[in-house]
Structure 1
Amino acid sequence: MRAASGDPLVTAPLPGVWSTADVERLAAERLAPDVWDYIAGGSGDEVTLAANRAAFDRVAVVPRSFVDVSACDTGCDLFGVRAALPLAVAPMAYQRLVHDGGELAAASAAAAAGVPYVVSTLSSEPIEAVAGAGGTTWFQLYWLRDRDVVTTLLRRAEDAGCRAVVLTADVPVLGRRLRDLRNGFALPSWVKPVNTDGDVGERVPGDSVIARHTSAVFDPSLSWPDLAWVRARTRLPLLVKGVLDPADAARAVDLGADGVVVSNHGGRQLDGAVPSVLALPEVVAAVGGRCPVLLDSGVRTGVDVLRALALGAAAVLVGRPVLWGLGAGGERGVTAVLDVLREEFGTAMRLAGCPDVASARALTASVR
């Protein structure tokens, strides 16, 4: 098993790319089957994985007419930084699995596109190196058993210039990901969780090394006092990711969260959980404008971004399509994905009668 390397596709345009689905096809052809299963799969029977996509297709937007869209501004402010799109790259572990450039390639593409990049606790490149790619970097934090490591990670993120912390709340244990279990999935020697000085262990037939590692280092006791603990230990804006219940969102804000990310972890945790986009409107209502609400899980097109904004999201996080881009062509592949989303979103805004992001958030949308 070897990640896609950097040669021709990194410096040459990706052929036949008109949508993120085209990039998905290229990545599926290029990556080893077990790596493809790791990034494409969900938990259990993958009901929530499929439901995320189906739910987006049920969202209908009512476009406005007689609006001058000769100029269209797709930019917005996200936690004190101007972003070129209401979009950030979601935190995803072990990106060197899919391309030798890994997180550094993806972060460089995000920087060039003018959107934030969220570096994972389980990044296969150091926080400092990723933050040094030149763009806006946020740090995603998993709740670990070793509090000294958590404290060190927060300090490193601040010192590296990260602009926000994203605490993931929906992984007390790893979801049961059957593709990985069937493959006996393991990390190659060149991919490690370098930020925690970890070694995830060796391949065991019928088991997932990532699930074993998560069980060993993640703390399933995460509770509300721990959110307050994190809040007290960083001066950065704090987002809570993995929230689906409106009451949980409201309480997170009460305890100092500066943002909420409505997410079911891309269908990789509780199989049968509500699709994120269907949970979004009630969470937005519960927060009541006290902080931005972002959406994660299932975003594949620029129209999806518009749909999320019309339902109340301030922005979205994009995950798997970025990994598809990495697998298809490294930094150039991620650039292709972000270019497609930018073009699709700009066109969707104009067709919906939206000269700016604020007007997109004022659209009417319903779930059919």
Structure 2
Amino acid sequence: MSGAGLARLSSIYRQGVLGRRPVVPADFAELERRARRASSARAWAYVAGGAGEGRTMRRNREAFGRWAIVPRMASGAVDRDLSVRLLGARHGTPLLLAPVGAGALMGADSDVKIARAAAATGTTYVFSNQGCNPMEECAAAMGDASRWFQLYWSKDEGLVDSLIARAEAAGAGALVVTLDTTVLGWRPQDLNLGSLPFSRGEGIAQYTSDPRFREIAAARPAQPAGEVTLGAIRTLLAMTRNHPGGFWNNLRSPAPRASVETFLDIYSNPGLSWDHLATLRDRTRLPVVLKGILHPDDARRAFDLGADAVVVSNHGGRQIDNAIASLDALVTIRDALGPDPVLLFDSGIRTGADVFTALALGANAVLLGRPYMYGLALAGQRGVEDVITNVVAELDLTMALAGTPDIAAITRSALAAA
């Protein structure tokens, strides 16, 4: 994606001559401010919120402030090569879209719009296991563009196999197993609203579209009706709208409620262990990526079990309050494991300069999360495209100004302790 930075500058400034300003702000602070204004309280709590007192979220950002880029002059490089090779495939940039659950809180048909934006920008999209559109719909929207699939390990092993098989059939390039959400973290923003999207049928489309899950839900014994309140009626209506099929048929059916209750019972396995993960090589032909690694010993064990890559991540600060910053963990893990293992990174990426810093500290590629969701809230598919384009453009300009002609040239020598 040579020249991405200058092309973006030219596009925005040419529109400025005509009196047009970008719908999606070029800086993260304004992007966040406008997205919050455009979002409901429930949506903002879920997408922007973090665990506990928010210390891990703050720590993720503070970690970037401890490093400074040291530009080198007169490199003579007119063009930059932003491409990287990951898990046997060439990617146009080192940026992927992280899986974000319950995206429809920020905009209808969220996952399909994100998928189209990813395809339009040549960016790999990691389909969320807690998405609001089935993976098959997202794959169809992307054509031949690159996608991976995130897996939450269910209590039901048959459902695990069914989701893996569907991901393979949908053309996923890798299976990304999330390890750090065997139980939900303490999230005060959601708790203060009494709001869990999944309890309303939001973010469970991969399940309600799955034959094994539907079989489990259909066999669930009928539950007695609970207390009837205005809130309960609204929740029932939300379940009905979010369930596959017609609204009126769903309203008369026990299926929407049974699906929600089944999901809440089995979607994640608190007993997930390395023994479970050791079975993956026999269960899928896809490259395996383990997401949520923060300790060098866990990274070593992952690769010893045959993982092809790990994602150094604290789930964007959403699971444990006062956890180590992902960027600090990246440095420790890269130093411990050496240059060869494939380390991906997320949690705290906001700008192209952040991407540069993470790459210099040992990441092979990074995953972007909240910023593109904010773009979705502001302008749908176009908003996601604009956020991706802005981050890539800033990365390209940072590389040009720092004297790094390609991704391989971004090493720790490009940084200094701030």
Moved more, 77-86 or 180-189: 180-189
State the one-letter code of the partner of 2:151: L
Output aligned runs, 1:137-148, within 5 Å. Answer: 137-148=147-158
State the distance in 2 between where 1:365 and 1:232 align.
41
Aligned in 2, Cα 1:16/1:153: closer, same or farther, shift over 3 Å?
Answer: closer
Work out which of the residue numbers 284, 307, 310 in structure 2 matches 1:234: 284
Letter in 2 for 1:224: W
Aligned to 2:28: 20
- Alignment partner of 1:277 out of 310, 327, 332: 327
Deviation at 1:15, TM superposition (A): 2.6
The corresponding residue for 2:205 is: 194
Deviations 1:65-85 (A, max 9, x none): 331221111122222322221
The residue number in structure 2 matching 1:250 is 300
Aligned position for 1:9: none
CA distance in 2, matches of 1:313, 1:146: 33
Choose which of 114, 129, 133 in structure 2 pairs with 1:106.
114
Do the aligned partners of residues 58 and 215 (structure 1) sit closer, same or farther apart at CA in structure 2, a change above 3 Å counting? farther
2:370 is equivalent to residue 320 of structure 1 = yes
Tell me what 2:49 maps to: 41
Letter in 2 for 1:235: R
Kindly indicate whether residue 127 of structure 2 is the aligned counterpart of residue 119 of structure 1. Answer: yes
Q: What are the within-5 Å matches in structure 2 for residues 90-101 of structure 1?
A: 90-101=98-109
Distance in 2 (alpha carbons) for counterparts of 1:139 and 1:325: 22
* Cross-structure match for 1:7: none
Name the SS of the counterpart of 2:279 in structure 1: helix
1:58 aligns with 2:108: no
Alignment of 1:124-273 (within 5 A): 124-132=132-140, 133-134=142-143, 135-187=145-197, 191-197=202-208, 216-273=266-323
Alignment length (residue pairs):
353
- Look up the equivalent residue of 1:171 and give its one-letter code: T
The separation in 2 between residues aligned to 1:338 and 1:250, in whole angstroms, is 32
Give the aligned residue type for 2:382: R
TM-score by length of structure 1 reads: 0.90
**Matching residue's letter, 2:147:** T
**Aligned AA (2:90):** R
Amino acid of the structure 2 residue aligned with 1:326: L
- TM-fit CA distance, 1:286: 2.7
Alignment correspondent of 1:78: 86
1:283-335 deviation line (CA, Å, top 9, x unaligned): 11233234210110000000000000110110100000011011111101101
1:190 offset after TM fit, Å? 7.0
- 1:2-51 deviation digits (Å, cap 9, x = unpaired): xxxxxxxxxx9843622233322221111112211111100111110111
Please say if residues 244 and 263 of structure 1, whose CA atoms lie closer than 8 Å, have aligned partners that are also in contact: yes
Tell me which moved more, 357-366 or 120-129.
Answer: 357-366
Percent of aligned positions that are identical: 41
Aligned to 1:353: 403
1:98 alignment partner AA: M
Partner of 2:15: none
Alpha-carbon displacement from aligned partner over 1:212-240 (angstroms, at most 9, x marks no partner): 96565311111111111122211111111
Please tell me the residue identity of whatever aligns with 2:302.
A
- 1:291 corresponds to 2:291: no
Cα RMSD for the two superposed structures: 2.5
What amino acid does structure 2 have at the position aligned with 1:353? G
Q: How big is each residue's C-alpha offset from its partner over 1:53-96, in whole Å with a ceiling of 9 and x where there is no partner?
A: 11112122333333122111112222232222101000111111
SS at match of 1:324: helix
Query: Deviation of residue 192 (structure 1)?
Result: 4.2
Distance 1:276 1:78 in 2: 20
Aligned to 1:8: none
CA contact 1:173–1:214 (8 Å) conserved in 2: no
Structure 2 residues not aligned, in runs of 5+: 1-19, 218-222, 233-238, 240-259
Letter in 2 for 1:285: D
Which range moved further: 260-269 or 227-236? 227-236
Q: Distance in 1 between matches of 2:375 and 2:340?
A: 35
CA contact (8 A) 1:23 1:333 kept: no
Q: For the Cα contact (< 8 Å) 1:243–1:249, is it kept in 2?
A: yes
Paired letter, 2:188: L
Task: Give the greater-gyration-radius structure (CA).
Answer: 2
Paired with 1:112 and 1:146, the residues of 2 have a C-alpha distance of 36
Bigger shift: residues 264-273 or 227-236: 227-236
Return the alpha-carbon distance in structure 1 between the equivalents of residues 390 and 321 of structure 2: 30
CA contact (8 A) 1:76 1:83 kept: yes
- The amino acid of 1:175's aligned partner reads G
Point out the structure with the larger helix share.
Answer: 2
